[in-house]
Amino acid sequence: MTTLDSKIPSGALPEKWDKHLAHLRLVNPSNKRKYKIIIVGTGLAGASAAASLAELGYQVECFCFQDSPRRAHSIAAQGGINAAKNYPNDGDSVWRLFYDTIKGGDFRAREANVYRLAQISNNIIDQCVAQGVPFAREYSGYLANRSFGGAQVSRTFYARGQTGQQLLLGAYQALERQVGQGAVKMYARHEMLDVVLVDGHAKGIVARDLVTGEVKSYAADAVVLATGGYANVFYLSTNAKGCNVTAIHRAYKKGALLANLCYTQIHPTCIPVTGDYQSKLTLMSESLRNDGRVWVPKKKGDKRPPHEIPEEERDYFLERKYPSYGNLSPRDISSRSAKEVCDEGKGVGGSGLGVYLDFREAIERLGENVIRERYSNLFDMYAKITGENPYKVPMRIYPAPHYTMGGLWVDYNLMSNVPGLYVIGEANFSDHGANRLGASALMQGLADGYFVLPYTIGDYLAGLGMKNKVGADHAEFKKAEAGVTDMTRKFLSIKGKRTVDSIHRELGALMWEHCGMARSEASLKKALAAIPGIREEFWKNVNVLGGGEEPNQALERAGRVADFLEFAELLCFDALDRRESCGGHFRTEFQTTEGEAKRDDANFSYVAAWEFAGVGKEPVLHKEPLEFESVQLAVRSYK
């Protein structure tokens, strides 16, 4: 029986992290170079962790499937990063950031993890400024802040609409400095296809060289997964096409627990779907809702151009429903509200699946130059994709899969239940509960990589000592290599009639329909009944062209979709088990008379962590109770 020990330290909430640091075991500086750490993924979490651990003196080997670490999906983050600096002097504090975050997550995250995140937030800004990240500044030269959803203070630091890219360049430069010094060995165009356990401890990985096709083992003293989220299970999402679940899913099949998978974030501000030919969707930053107003016509089926609809015939539905937060209501609430008005027949655009995001009033009040200065790259992107000028006509937006709060279960040290296997950033489940507030993903990724993992991994290595070191010639590595090679042969041997993408699209449509913005017991059971058939179709009728000893993107996609076909089932099991609505998990049977999410704290105030029991078999549920000592559980209200 797997026991979940969160390792949360005792004591008062503001003192837990400092107390924990004081009692962690240390590795002597001269001994650090005797330990090797593998890091998979080079986004904000992975790049910052690799740079920090190498700076401390550890040997680091870093893997990414892109041709450069700077192509990690973190570059797609647009709006900003939160920190409790209180520069605008509007009442912010570490406590307020903590409370906004845990409330935003609908009280389904650990208190201690969320408070630590708020504590560390200020250090992140200092670190990034020192690296030269070009945050926006006021005329005086002070760092500028803007507002984001779920908060009544301005705490979001930003670099126009490309904050993720600028932060990643900072982490990338720190990483490349260590590469140049020989402290980090970088493996670009390498995809991790298995994690290797020896005597129950993570001791390395098996990866495929995506250029030559070579499958090879890499041994280490600890493994860190920083491989992002699983929103591409829906096929259409704001994620890059390459984003996948393979690393964490294959760790799950080796014994690591996957937790809270039903907490999937649907971002309210995305360019609507325009046709079946699309392979992904485009995010429009939440920051746009600082100045843009969201509305639909009050009259159902009103197809007049927006400029012909007078003010009194417009429904600014977020301002109407949530007057205290208005257009900056949290993402889950804003998304459901947009779906609601579209379901009522008030949606705009050819499909009727869209709402307006209108900047007319802001442009009249501030001037077009100010709006251009704040959002020009976002406005330009929208114009290129839609052919419409958002300075002249309202943007059309609709919710889309964006971020996933679930992931591999980790303790307070960011280690999974598999000793030596650490998980950071979006790949773990730890900080956001059932819904992530805007501008918190970058905060968590950099907190984990720069300021948490470098301390906590030393505690594990110090306990390990110099014993139990293994090389890539160990029998477990050879066994894992053989499994990966056999899987590759199997993909290439099927020779069916369907492309990998066609099957992925079928799975995604099913998941969006039955386990998307709204779920029910009936819809989830439909999905669980249909997924095995799609999976069987894949293994009987997929056609993967090319060979295994060459660059082969069809083969890469086949492996990732095969994992999604297993993972989707687990996601539905988790959503079916959680008989409540909270955050991004909205069960239609569990809602208030006003259509808001209805939690069941008495029965579901726990982390649901799932253990692999075999493909096609129901997984085993383990529960970690959530205990709240410093906050009062309350109905989440933004009215």
Instruction: Kindly give the residue spans of alpha helices, DSSP state H, lying in 238-349.
Output: 246-252, 317-321, 331-343
User: Which residue type occupies 184?
Assistant: V
d(C-alpha 482, C-alpha 463), whole Å: 32
User: Phi and psi at residue 319, in whole multiples of 5°?
Assistant: -65, -35
Helix (H, G, I), strand (E, B) or coil at 514: helix
- How is 109-171 classified by DSSP, letter by letter? S-HHHHHHHHHHHHHHHHHHHHHT----B-TTSSBP-B--TT-SS--EE-STT-HHHHHHHHH
d(C-alpha 371, C-alpha 362), whole Å: 8
Residues 601, 602, 605: CA angle, nearest 5 degrees:
50
Do 76 and 240 form a contact (C-beta atoms < 8 A)?
yes
Do 574 and 261 form a contact (C-beta atoms < 8 A)?
yes
Quickly count: other Cβ atoms within 10 Å of residue 336's Cβ.
21
d(C-alpha 558, C-alpha 384), whole Å: 31
d(C-alpha 267, C-alpha 199), whole Å: 42
Hey, CA dihedral for 412, 413, 418, 421, is it positive or negative?
positive
d(C-alpha 338, C-alpha 616), whole Å: 35
Sheet holding 264-270, edge to edge: 264-270, 395-404, 355-358, 293-297, 314-315
Give strand ranges (E) for 471-552. Answer: none
d(C-alpha 85, C-alpha 87), whole Å: 5
- Specify the DSSP class assigned to residue 273: P
- Find tokens 């894992």 and name the residue: 480
- How is 162-226 classified by DSSP, letter by letter? -HHHHHHHHHHHHHHHHHHTTSEEEETTEEEEEEEEETTEEEEEEEEETTT--EEEEE-SEEEE-
Helix (H, G, I), strand (E, B) or coil at 453: helix
Residues marked active site are found at 331
- Find tokens 């647009």 and name the residue: 78
User: Which residue type occupies 168?
Assistant: L
Do 440 and 164 form a contact (C-beta atoms < 8 A)?
no
Greatest alpha-carbon pair distance for the chain in Å reads 75
d(C-alpha 601, C-alpha 615), whole Å: 32
User: Which residue type occupies 80?
Assistant: G
Q: Closest Cα to residue 9, out of 412, 340, 570?
A: 412
